[in-house]
Structure 1
Amino acid sequence: MRSEQLAKSQQARPQIADVVPIAEGLHQHSLKICILGYRSHPYGGGQGIYIRYLSKALREAGHEVDVISGEPYPHLDDGIRLIKMPGLNLFENGLGSLRPHHLRSATNIIEWTSKLTGGFAEPYCFGRRVVKYLREHGRHYDIIHDNQSLSWGMLQLQKEGFPLVTTIHHPITSDLDIALKAARSAWQRVLIRRWHSFITMQRKVAPKLRNVVTVSECSRHDIAEAFGMAPESIDLVHCGIDTDVFHPMPEVEKKPFRLMATVSADAPLKGAHYLINALPALIERYPELELLLVGKPKPGGSTERLIERLGLAERIRCVTGISTEELVRYYNEAEIVVVPSVYEGFGLPAGEAMACGTAVVSSNGGALPEVVGDACIQVPVRDSDAISNAVIKLFDDPELRQRLAREGRERMENIFCWRKAALEMTDFYWKVIDRANR
């Protein structure tokens, strides 16, 4: 039923390439924008990538952009000011990093205690810190744009008259459901529920936010269902792909039988296990096959154990902490990029690979069909055999690989462009400002 509603809404909505942003004609002067991200490193997930490229596109559109971020900090372009909002960053520093001076802050104590008991309090604590900072330093901003912290602090900012916009990429309830299905024991499910306990806050905060925007039609409907919101109350501005950064490199030779995937290897949501389970059959057919995995499995984690059990350690090369330039080169070297996600609120790796002119095999999880369209081979989620068959089809048909690579690049250039995203987001900002001034 939901898929039928989604299809109808997609047909009714004009293609982004045909949309003329209202803001371009109505408002000419630049805005002072502050983007918030509780953790924004680009290798921590799509939220960090979103902050980097949206801030860049808004800056190039003539706006003044600051980013307030907790650790790990984002990569930002020149001209964008980073205001560091350090917390304890316990996921990297560990519980033993607590020092006596940290105890002077109630927020630090909350963050440490939550981690000690298996929780994740970063969004909540970031909200507390941001409210304190913006009360003193933030009244000059035209727009405060929260990137999915969905914390109590955001409601406080809204209550105090700050012009607040919130991006929700997708409801984390999807992550929770998928993680619970992948759990192997009752105790593991207890730990998963404890870590995701911040969703209780998000469920209460999201419906009270006045200006919510998301990145896909699929996410719009999933957010509405998860948080009890009307779909029409959620605006839509698709993500973009920087097609100047992610581009074909004709001088780079393809590595024969090189597969590539950009995934959080131990996150069930990203479906790495389904790709890895497809490899033995592929290696039997193509003995030279290699998988380049952008993302390192946790030592002793489920992905590492699966790789060892299948005897694939010599066939999988893991890279992490690479530069954007290196990532673009890897996309260009791969013959095929596989996106095996069980769910995506948008699907930036698929768009990046297509922008680089590389053939893609993508699952149909979440919003991925909106992004890839007919310019790739789509397979059902959680289906290793389907992944294997799609890869075989592309390896055995060079002309099909080349056609999909060309069509993928054209799709990213014509539909998913950060300049369009920045213009549409600016339009949304002005609507929020105009409503607030009535």
Structure 2
Amino acid sequence: MRICLLTYRGNMYCGGQGVYVYYLAKALSRLGHQVDVMAGPPYPSVPDGVKLHKIEGLNLYETNGLSSLGNPLQLLRPLNFYEVVATRLGMFPEICTFSMRAYMRLRHLVSRERFDVIHDNQTLGYGILLAKGLGVPIVATIHHPIFIDMKADLAQAKRFLSKFKRTKFYSFLVMQHLVAKRMDRIITVSEVSAADTTRIFRLPEDKVRVVPNGIDTGVFKRLNRVEKEPDSIVMVGNTEDRKKGVTFLLQAMQLLRGDVDVRLSIVDRQGDYTKYAPKLVQENGLEDVVTFTGRLSLDELVRRYSVSQVAVTASVYEGFGLPCAEAMSCGTPVVATRAGALPEIVGNDGAGILVPPADPAALAAAIRRLLADEPLRQRMGEAGRKRIEESFSWEIAAKKTLEVYEEVL
């Protein structure tokens, strides 16, 4: 089968979408299928045997000014002009412009090559709708409805102007709702996400399939001869995303610091892009106990999981929760919330501690319990590793995804 995967941001450092496409492409290719990846900037590295098609884009949220244009005359191109103006107005046009550019590339490719299926990774832009006219079935993955992100943002925005700006940023949701209804099948990555996607997008249940993400257990594993750092905690995630619950984790740190010499490492981008969490750290006087690592390579990330005594996922919602699963795969005990799909990952067989979301006291109590009990950390780390090995494999995910493809052929 020849498969074309679409992702508007391809690099694995952009978050879950880049990780998803990389490992799904790798697993599909290993099963003997021909895989093409069509990605916007920042561009990914792709597995051996997978063909990459780079779709131009301005990536205005991660570049300075209009430096990505190169030649100023490129601003005269309609999609570039729209992307610049819409971004300056506080909107997020990247999804729409990527989809239109991808459609034009697909139209050119399909005229001389044949894809059996197009798989869109939560772009859901108008260009994907146009691609329906190419005569190729289209499957879309919705990791979780972005409406939930908007709801979380608005809940934490205190002023009317802030709420207005966040609502304007999420104006692309209207487009995504229109496009999602016209996809041949929708894949979600958890039972919770499936229920939320069906409800929010008003989709018929027979169109939605659940295919959980996998974890590369050959990469995410406990490193030998690496000593744990005493009273160390790690959080991995985009702290600008209010759903990640960093404010509640930092409140828990305040509760802990009086009786535990605790240290928190936050793995996230640094610089102008990341402002929310550093501001909270400063406001709460936690500079001496919280460290921002910046972006880490894959090897560095595995090492950070391995040296940490506890990994925390404090999210108020997760469609899946890759950092939680990665930590478990590394044998690091986890404290996670009962939010979204996290209970599906952690389970109820001793692989982690689940606490109510948005509850700093419960987070602090669970962290304190683990830091004080080395045998419990050992048992929980082993149980977490076993659960990931048995339940979350990219090979299984690829095979289930192929079953969805077969339904639309």
Q: Distance in 2 between matches of 1:340 and 1:209?
A: 33
1:342 aligns with 2:312: no
Q: Residue by residue, what CA displacement relative to the aligned partner does 1:384-403 show, whole Å, maximum 9, x if unpaired?
A: 11110000111111111111
Confirm or deny: 8 A CA contact 1:362 1:368 kept in the other structure. yes
How far has the Cα of 1:160 moved from its partner?
Answer: 2.5
Aligned partner of 2:18 in structure 1 is 48
Matches within 5 A, 1:3-152: 31-97=1-67, 98=69, 99-138=71-110, 139-152=113-126
Percent identity for Structure 1 against Structure 2:
39
Aligned partner of 1:294 in structure 2 is 267
How far has the Cα of 1:164 moved from its partner?
Answer: 1.2
Q: Distance in 2 between matches of 1:265 and 1:401?
A: 26
Counterpart residue type for residue 64 of structure 1: Q
How far has the Cα of 1:110 moved from its partner?
Answer: 1.2
TM-score, normalised on structure 1? 0.89
Moved over 6 A (4+): none
Counterpart residue type for residue 56 of structure 1: K
Confirm or deny: 8 A CA contact 2:269 2:295 kept in the other structure. no
Unaligned runs of 5+ in 1: 1-30, 434-438
Matches within 5 A, 1:28-427: 31-97=1-67, 98=69, 99-138=71-110, 139-287=113-261, 289-296=262-269, 301-374=275-348, 375-427=351-403
How far has the Cα of 1:298 moved from its partner?
Answer: 5.8
Counterparts in 2 of 1:321 and 1:79: CA distance versus 1, 3 Å: farther
Counterpart residue type for residue 421 of structure 1: A
Q: Residue by residue, what CA displacement relative to the aligned partner does 1:138-157 show, whole Å, maximum 9, x if unpaired?
A: 34222211000011111111
Counterpart residue type for residue 81 of structure 2: I
Q: Distance in 2 between matches of 1:315 and 1:95?
A: 34
Q: Distance in 2 between matches of 1:75 and 1:396?
A: 42
Q: Residue by residue, what CA displacement relative to the aligned partner does 1:266-305 show, whole Å, maximum 9, x if unpaired?
A: 2111111111111122122112x21111014665833222
How far has the Cα of 1:317 moved from its partner?
Answer: 1.5
Counterpart residue type for residue 431 of structure 1: E
Confirm or deny: 8 A CA contact 1:265 1:297 kept in the other structure. no
Q: Distance in 2 between matches of 1:71 and 1:116?
A: 19
Counterpart residue type for residue 365 of structure 2: N
Query: SS where residue 62 of structure 2 aligns?
Result: helix
Q: Distance in 2 between matches of 1:392 and 1:91?
A: 38
Q: Residue by residue, what CA displacement relative to the aligned partner does 1:337-378 show, whole Å, maximum 9, x if unpaired?
A: 000011111011110000000100001111111111121100
Q: CA RMSD in A?
A: 1.4
Q: Distance in 1 between matches of 2:406 and 2:276?
A: 47
Confirm or deny: 8 A CA contact 1:274 1:384 kept in the other structure. yes
Query: SS where residue 383 of structure 2 aligns?
Result: helix
Confirm or deny: 8 A CA contact 1:295 1:318 kept in the other structure. yes
How far has the Cα of 1:223 moved from its partner?
Answer: 0.6
Aligned partner of 1:9 in structure 2 is none
Query: SS where residue 128 of structure 1 aligns?
Result: helix
Unaligned runs of 5+ in 2: none
Q: Distance in 2 between matches of 1:254 and 1:80?
A: 38
Query: SS where residue 291 of structure 1 aligns?
Result: strand
Q: Distance in 2 between matches of 1:421 and 1:208?
A: 24
Counterparts in 2 of 1:103 and 1:306: CA distance versus 1, 3 Å: closer
Query: SS where residue 103 of structure 1 aligns?
Result: helix
Query: SS where residue 3 of structure 2 aligns?
Result: strand
Query: SS where residue 165 of structure 1 aligns?
Result: strand
Q: Residue by residue, what CA displacement relative to the aligned partner does 1:111-133 show, whole Å, maximum 9, x if unpaired?
A: 11110110001111011101111
State which drifts further: 306-315 or 169-178.
306-315
State which drifts further: 134-143 or 183-192.
134-143
Query: SS where residue 66 of structure 1 aligns?
Result: strand
Q: Distance in 1 between matches of 2:254 and 2:33?
A: 51
Counterpart residue type for residue 155 of structure 2: K
Counterpart residue type for residue 381 of structure 1: P
How far has the Cα of 1:60 moved from its partner?
Answer: 1.5
Confirm or deny: 8 A CA contact 2:355 2:362 kept in the other structure. yes
How far has the Cα of 1:82 moved from its partner?
Answer: 1.7
How far has the Cα of 1:76 moved from its partner?
Answer: 2.3
Q: Distance in 2 between matches of 1:304 and 1:148?
A: 29
Q: Distance in 2 between matches of 1:231 and 1:75?
A: 35
Counterparts in 2 of 1:147 and 1:87: CA distance versus 1, 3 Å: same
How far has the Cα of 1:229 moved from its partner?
Answer: 1.0
Q: Distance in 2 between matches of 1:93 and 1:297?
A: 14
State which drifts further: 360-369 or 231-240.
231-240
